[in-house]
Amino acid sequence: MTAAQLELTGITKQYPGVLANDHIDLAIASGEVHALLGENGAGKSTLVKIIYGVVRADEGEILWNGEPVRITSPSQARSLGIGMVFQHFNLFETLTVAENISLGIDEDHDLKQLTSEIEEISTKYGLPINPHQHVHALSVGERQRVEIIRCLVQDPKVLIMDEPTSVLTPQEVEKLFETLRRLSSEGCSILYISHKLDEIQALCDRATVLRHGKVTATCSPKQETPKSLAEMMIGSELPVCKRIAQKRDSEVRLVVRDLSIPSPDPHGTDLRNINVTVHRGEVLGIAGVAGNGQKEFMAALNGELMDSVTGRIELNGAELSKVGPAERRTKGLAFVPEERLGRGAVPDMSLANNALLTGYLNGMLNNGFIDFDRVRAYATEIRERFDVRSAGIDAEARSLSGGNLQKFIMGREIMMDPQLLVLGHPTWGVDVGAATTIHQEIVDLAAKGTSVVVASEDLDELFEICDSIVVIAEGRLSPVKRTSETNVEEVGLWMSGQFEADEGEVGHAA
Amino acid sequence: MLLRLEPRQFTSKRMQYASPLIAAVLTLIAGVILFSALGTDPVVALHTFFVRPLTSLYGVGEWALKATPLLLCAIGLSVGFRGNVWNIGAEGQLTMGAVCGSGVALAFWGDEGPWLLPLMLFVGVLGGMAWGAIPSMLKNRFNANEILTSLMLSYVAIQILGYLVHGPWRDPEGFNFPQTRIFGDDGILPVLLEGTRLHLGAVLAVICTIIVWIFMSRTFQGFKVSVAGQAPAAAAYAGYSRKKVILLSFLVSGGLAGLAGIVEIAGTINQLQPIISPGYGFAAIIVAFLGRLHPLGIFFASLLMSLMYLGGEQLQIHLNLPLAVTGVFQGLLLFFVLGSDVLVRYRIRLISQPKEA
């Protein structure tokens, strides 16, 4: 191994109540692709924020080419030669690609010269982009390219990529990997943060595994199995979700006909002519890259988006498109939104009050007065049945971890005994253990006859729990396929919008 | 060494109770500095401000009397504020409540009975509600900012009052003074305590406070208001109508401000005049926040604010200090209360700066 480009020793960061990083050692060699692996909350983000100068460590030392350095700001990190592509993009929608990149450069520079530089990098590394295009017109994959080029124009020695593939189609992921391999062959080190094991095996030379803020293992991922990597990450054996093969049920539960909605957000996605049918006990997965209309579709199913909606939504034959969320609930619809804090739950309210939020139909009201005994009993039951770890039912929703809060919200909705359960990214930001529990709940619920519609960006998840899969791209829905009759490649291709809308076939699951 | 604010993991219950005390102590200290700078003995001044008004039964009566409209307005406003609905126009709703209720008294002048007073109160409440309904409908229909519309309508209401007392409703036997007839006995709220001006309105205010307390803490509709205020997206997700919360908040706060207006007229002034309130509707905003939007807190805050009005008068009478001192004092108190509130969510930590490498 050559001398480390970047080396961390004993990095420690204490947040109120959490030791985010506990004496972490990490060394990245020049030209190495190094994975930082860990569950959500393991301390990955804190560590890279320390490297990039966003957060300062309480203890520990950073060595750059063997020399100790103090990184106090992102601009200092950049001048050293550290670039970072964040999970959430920092781009101005109304500016062009070149202008956006120009804003990220600290030194004086000429925009024209920069433009030609962008074009040069774009061809050299296989990152096609037009520097004169406005960012709002770009797809998510293209925006990521802008972020990467923004780092590359500064000629970095270390490039940090924070969960870069969550917004990409499988094909785009492959392209990104080519770019990253090319960079590494030229001597640029890459710190690659992810919890997706197959990607890490495909791309990375070495991996540092974090758990609860500590380094638990350093390994060569190519010599490990996904199972052994997962066990290093979660510290125990990986639980498996058991699924019983379902008979097809012909009873139609949900019918969406010609649903079109102009998005209320100027940069949002309009839904166009959505047609889909879901049967009793069927789990339908909606695959797609974020921002292709999943959010709007979920909101439309729940009745939060009702203005200027055209088309029909029927549940058990009852027309729902003209009534709001409260009435849809009485008809058997339940919904777990993607945003847990602030939408699925009120952050500053207790779990008991959050049980009341949508659970009120389960006999918690008495002439408009709240029956607090019933509310507390309901919350207690959710907590026990769904293994929600919290300091009792009076704990504020904000004090729960993502996985526990998700289990609570799922539990609240499942205990409504719904006809149709709609789920937005149910395991996003949830640790592996809780994710398996959640998957098992979904599968069990469907076995009892509830229909489930689940949107997710994680294809593995959808293939694991769904009976059928449909892709949403640019506000349109692909044909529905039985999970057993399709594969990741086909779905991936559809995610980029390449499917023929054959009107006769579209949207029929059975 | 540096002072740094660090977010607490949980809101501190202890600080929730301690912060008003910290604020009170800081206000007293600032008061001492203020009065010393004005060349007055601070002990005498503070005694005159806080204690002297309450040394007689009459004074205690005045204390509760002035707290009444503040309590009614603030308790109503607190419902909206909890629901993230910003009614700044309680002064206008109070004025319209007074105008409408007085209209009844004047219409039946000389032809009255024991039914008159309940009718006046009822119409006063309706008047305040109607005036409050305007900004809520503008908000719901055109998304007009309720802060601006409710505030501007306050000035409209005051102009309407001015027009009526200078014009059509002027007392024909009143030597051209801009005021209405004095109401007959059936249009005046009974006095509670002999030797004071304290009237039945104070009891009404306490009853309303209890009702609002029950509404906010025990009913589902009150719960919906709180959810709408704390997490609008969660309210939309659960299907609670935002428009309903806005309308309800304005009807409750407008109605209670209207009641405050007619109670002030029927209990204290007994006729309409060009100026019927020293800004109770605006001071009530401070009272609502001083009381942390909690009914019990608001109850005490209205008493404190009322004492400040009385204390300010005492300073003018006995120490020849200007009226502005009262305003400065109120401002200081609010400043310190909001400042101390930071401690509920944050803690102060002394940190030593890491050594330069």
Residue type, A122: S
Put simply, the answer to whether A325 touches B357 (Cβ < 8 Å) is no
Q: In Å, how far is A330's CA from the nearest CA of chain B?
A: 11
Put simply, the answer to whether B357 touches A337 (Cβ < 8 Å) is no
**Helices H, strands E: what count in chain A?**
16, 23
Put simply, the answer to whether A70 touches B233 (Cβ < 8 Å) is no
Q: Where are the domains of chain A?
A: 4-234, 252-332+418-495
Contacts of B231 in chain A (CB under 8 A): 342-343, 345-347
Q: In Å, how far is B244's CA from the nearest CA of chain A?
A: 13
- In Å, how far from its chain's centre is CA B307? 13
Contacts of B7 in chain A (CB under 8 A): 16
Contacts of A328 in chain B (CB under 8 A): 239
Q: In Å, how far is B139's CA from the nearest CA of chain A?
A: 17
pLDDT tens sequence across A277-331: 999 999 999 998 877 888 889 999 999 887 778 899 999 999 998 899 999 999 9
- Note whether residue B185 is domain-resident: yes
Q: What CA–CA distance (Å, rounded) separates A188 from A202?
A: 18
pLDDT for B11 equals 67
Put simply, the answer to whether B220 touches A342 (Cβ < 8 Å) is no
Put simply, the answer to whether A365 touches B236 (Cβ < 8 Å) is no
Check if B234 contacts A (Cβ < 8 Å): yes
Name the interface residues of A facing B (CB cutoff 8 Å): 16-17, 56, 68-70, 302-304, 324-329, 335, 337, 339, 342-349, 353, 356-358, 360, 365, 368-370, 396, 399
Q: What is the mean pLDDT of residues B198-206?
A: 95
Backbone angles phi, psi at B284, to 5 degrees: -65, -25
- Residue bearing tokens 């809101």: B11
pLDDT for A1 equals 45
Assigned CATH topology for domain A4-234 = Rossmann fold (3.40.50)
CATH code for the domain in which residue B232 is found: 1.10.3470
Contacts of B356 in chain A (CB under 8 A): 70
Instruction: Compute the radius of gyration of chain B from its Cα atoms.
Output: 22
Q: A289 CB contacts (<8 Å, ≥6 apart)?
A: A139, A140, A141, A167, A168, A169, A457, A473, A495
Put simply, the answer to whether B241 touches A324 (Cβ < 8 Å) is yes
Q: For chain A, what percentages of helix, strand and coil (3-state, to nearest 5) are there?
A: 35, 25, 40
**Is the confidence at residue B226, as pLDDT, over 90?**
yes
Range of the domain at B201: 41-320
- The minimal CB distance from A342 to the residues B9, B221, B234 is found for B234
Put simply, the answer to whether A329 touches B239 (Cβ < 8 Å) is yes
Closest CA to A324 of A306, A347, A348: A306
pLDDT for A492 equals 85
Q: B45 CB contacts (<8 Å, ≥6 apart)?
A: B31, B35, B38, B315, B319, B321
A264 vs A37, A273, B29, B243, CA distance in Å?
38, 17, 53, 18
Put simply, the answer to whether A325 touches B237 (Cβ < 8 Å) is yes
**Is the confidence at residue B103, as pLDDT, over 80?**
yes
| CB count in 10 Å sphere of residue B19 | 21
Put simply, the answer to whether A353 touches B223 (Cβ < 8 Å) is yes
**Is the confidence at residue B261, as pLDDT, over 90?**
yes
Check if B221 contacts A (Cβ < 8 Å): yes
- Note whether residue B72 is domain-resident: yes
Contacts of A396 in chain B (CB under 8 A): 10
Contacts of B12 in chain A (CB under 8 A): none
Assigned CATH topology for domain A252-332+418-495 = Rossmann fold (3.40.50)
- Note whether residue B357 is domain-resident: no
- In Å, how far from its chain's centre is CA A209? 20
**Is the confidence at residue B26, as pLDDT, over 80?**
yes
Which of B5, B143, B215, B237 to substitute to test the interface with A, most A CBs within 10 Å?
B237
Put simply, the answer to whether A325 touches B6 (Cβ < 8 Å) is no
Which of A346, A374, A401 to substitute to test the interface with B, most B CBs within 10 Å?
A346
- HSE, side-chain direction, 13 A CA sphere, residue A299: 24
Check if B233 contacts A (Cβ < 8 Å): yes
- Note whether residue B29 is domain-resident: no
Put simply, the answer to whether B223 touches A343 (Cβ < 8 Å) is no
pLDDT for A502 equals 45
Task: For B231, name the nearest residue in chain A, comparing CA atoms only.
Answer: A342
pLDDT for B16 equals 76
Task: For B349, name the nearest residue in chain A, comparing CA atoms only.
Answer: A16
> Got the DSSP string for A368-407?
TEE-HHHHHHHHHHHHHHTT--SS-TTSBGGGS-HHHHHH
Top-confidence residue, B321 or B200? B200
Q: At what angle do helices B90-107 and B280-290 cross, to 10 degrees?
A: 130
User: What's the number of domains chain B is made of?
Assistant: 1
Q: In Å, how far is B203's CA from the nearest CA of chain A?
A: 25
Confidence of residue B351 (pLDDT cuts 50, 70, 90): low
Q: In Å, how far is B8's CA from the nearest CA of chain A?
A: 7
pLDDT for A333 equals 95
- Where are the extended beta strands (E) located within A121-266? 158-162, 189-194, 206-211, 214-219, 252-261
Reported ipTM: the value is 0.84
Which of A80, A307, A349 to substitute to test the interface with B, most B CBs within 10 Å?
A349
- The minimal CB distance from B236 to the residues A70, A304, A329 is found for A304
Task: For A18, name the nearest residue in chain B, comparing CA atoms only.
Answer: B9
Size of interface A-B (CB pairs under 8 A): 75
**Is the confidence at residue B294, as pLDDT, over 70?**
yes
Task: For A396, name the nearest residue in chain B, comparing CA atoms only.
Answer: B10
Pairing outcome for strands A318-319 and A310-315: antiparallel
pLDDT for A263 equals 78
Q: What CA–CA distance (Å, rounded) separates B268 from B189?
A: 8
Put simply, the answer to whether A16 touches B357 (Cβ < 8 Å) is no
Q: What CA–CA distance (Å, rounded) separates A285 from A453?
A: 6
Q: In Å, how far is B334's CA from the nearest CA of chain A?
A: 24
Contacts of A345 in chain B (CB under 8 A): 231, 234
Which of A370, A394, A400, A416 to substitute to test the interface with B, most B CBs within 10 Å?
A370
Q: What CA–CA distance (Å, rounded) separates B308 from A463?
A: 69
What length does chain A have? 510
Instruction: Tell which B residues from 4 to 23 touch A, by Cβ distance under 8 Å.
Output: 6-10
pLDDT for A258 equals 93
- The minimal CB distance from B220 to the residues A303, A349, A368 is found for A368
Put simply, the answer to whether B241 touches A360 (Cβ < 8 Å) is no
A394 within 8 A of A352, measured Cβ to Cβ: yes
Those residues of chain A that have pLDDT short of 70 are 1-3, 17, 237-241, 243-248, 267, 500-510
Q: What is the mean pLDDT of chain B?
A: 90
Put simply, the answer to whether A346 touches B7 (Cβ < 8 Å) is no
Q: What CA–CA distance (Å, rounded) separates A30 from A473?
A: 39
Put simply, the answer to whether B238 touches A326 (Cβ < 8 Å) is yes
pLDDT for B4 equals 75
- Note whether residue B121 is domain-resident: yes
